Each structure stands twice: as structure tokens, then as C-alpha cells.
Amino acid sequence: MKLPSRPLLVAGLLTFAAFGCAVEADDDVGDEKNVTNIASADSVAGISEVDGVDVTDPAAAASRFAAASTKPCRTRSIDANDAKVVHVTLTACNDRFDRRVLTGHLTVSFSSNADGTLHVESVSDDLTIDGRPFRRAARADVRADGARRIVTRHVEQSGTKKNGAAVTQTKDVTVEIDAATRCRAEKGTAHAVLQGRTIDSTIEIRTCEADSGEDLCPSGRIEHHHSDGKDVVITFDGSPTADVSIDNGRRPKERSWSLACAAK
């Protein structure tokens, strides 16, 4: 089966809190920001998994992925011993929102599922975010549904805060991609652990691309539920400013985050 001819849009983009944001000086959403930074790096890595893939044959998918045009900070090469494996090098790649710097290598492997859909697995070798270790493993299944493509993803990743404390995250999302409208919608859940606290999140986000290929500002919402009872809801309306509602059981607060994205 051949998927639509336009290159597959980024299956990993719009991850859980995928938008690294410039938070106000009164930073009472610090945990969300740290988890966001980890997820935002997944966005950068995710673009380096299925870019240019429009077939379900593993070797052909790997070949098209390796040959697809990409940003100067990325290079790709077919493995010398396995035509279904591609090695990716990231050299000071910035995420699209918080300008975090991602450097290192990914190994991306393509295979076939029993139902004929494409399976993609990616593992990191020596990734860093702003020089700090970032470990990541992801797997995705890709199927066609008319003009749409549906990507089911599971991601496990971990990194460190500036103070050296560990942040881990797992994420399960479904991304529906419409090549005709250049839009994608992501729904799913995520679970993060940092310094003994947990954050469970639900995601429902839609983002479109400009003609230049750059992401426009998203619409939708992300809800974070903390183990200590704190709830944070981030609402996106297609503008460069996201609304943040914070309820810690005392007095609710309203904040805003500035996004480095183009308005619709």
C-alpha cells in the first residue's frame, strides 16, 4: 500500500506540552515548564523519525526518509549493514518554541506490522538538551485512511533540570495528519515524574503549517493534574499567547505564556 505522495508531516510534533514557553517572572508553573522542556525536545527528535516517509515498505521508507530534505542541523544516512535502519545526527537543533538546543544521535528502524502498516522505532544514543543528558525511545505505527494518516505513538524519555534533578515522562498519543490541509491533531495522555511528584496530563491540540513549512500557533488545551492536588490548564487559541489557569486548592490564578510561533 502506498500512502499519499506528500511527505508525512511530523508525527511527533505537538507532543505533551510541546510548546516550550516564556513564562512570566512570577513562575508558579515551574514544574510544568520543566516537563514542557523535555516534551519540546521530543518534538525536535520526532521530526527526525518519519520526515518524507510516504510508503509502507520498510526499506523504501528508510530510503525516502534518509533522502528527504531537512534543516541544516540534521543529517541522515542509511546503515551500512541494514537498509531498513537510518542514523540521524542532530547538531544544535532548536525546538520551535523555547529555543532549547538538542544535540546527539538517533537510530531509526523501519519494519512492517502484521496488518501491512508501517512500524517505526527510534532510540537515542547521546542526546543532550542545552548540554544536559536527554534519553529517549519512541515507537509509532502509521496507517492511511483516505487522505489522512493516523500515527499512534508511545514515547519514553528522561532528562534533567538545571539543578540536576531528574525528569521522566511517558506519553501515548494518536496524531491524525491531513496532508491536504497541512494540519494535524493530537490527542492522548502523558505521565511525568520529577523530584517525587507526578504530573498526569491530557492533550487535545491542533496545529497547521504555513506554506513555508513553519508551524502556526496551536489551538486546543492541555490539562495537568498534580499528585499534590494542583491543577493547571493551558488553553491555546491560535495566537502567540496561551492562557494558563492554576488551581492549587486555595485561590485560583490566571497567567499567560508567550509562544514563539506565528498567529494563524
- Residue 256 CB neighbour total at 10 angstroms: 13
Domain locations along the chain? 22-187
What pLDDT does 108 receive?
Answer: 92
Non-local CB neighbours of 242 within 8 Å, separated by 6+ positions: 19, 21, 234, 235, 236, 256, 257, 259
What pLDDT does 19 receive?
Answer: 34
What pLDDT does 177 receive?
Answer: 82
Which residue in 226, 231, 234 sits closest to 259, CA to CA?
234
Q: Which amino acid is at 247?
A: D
Which residue in 238, 229, 226, 174 sits closest to 201, CA to CA?
226
What pLDDT does 239 receive?
Answer: 93
> Rounded to whole angstroms, how far apart are CA atoms 16 and 202?
8
The whole-model pTM stands at: 0.77
What pLDDT does 111 receive?
Answer: 96
Q: Give the pLDDT of the chain (264 residues) as one tens digit per residue.
A: 444 433 332 233 223 333 333 333 345 556 665 555 555 555 545 544 555 566 788 999 899 888 876 777 888 999 999 999 999 988 887 654 445 677 889 899 999 999 989 999 999 878 887 788 888 899 999 887 777 888 898 999 887 777 777 888 899 988 888 878 888 888 999 999 987 889 999 989 888 888 776 778 889 998 989 898 889 998 999 998 989 899 988 888 888 888 777 887
Residue 179, CA distances (Å) to 144, 150, 173, 183, 207 in order: 11, 11, 19, 7, 12
Which residue in 157, 161, 101, 153 sits closest to 134, CA to CA?
157
What pLDDT does 62 receive?
Answer: 92
Residue 32 burial class via C-beta count within 10 angstroms: exposed 0-12, middle 13-18, buried 19 and up: buried
Non-local CB neighbours of 92 within 8 Å, separated by 6+ positions: 73, 101, 102, 103
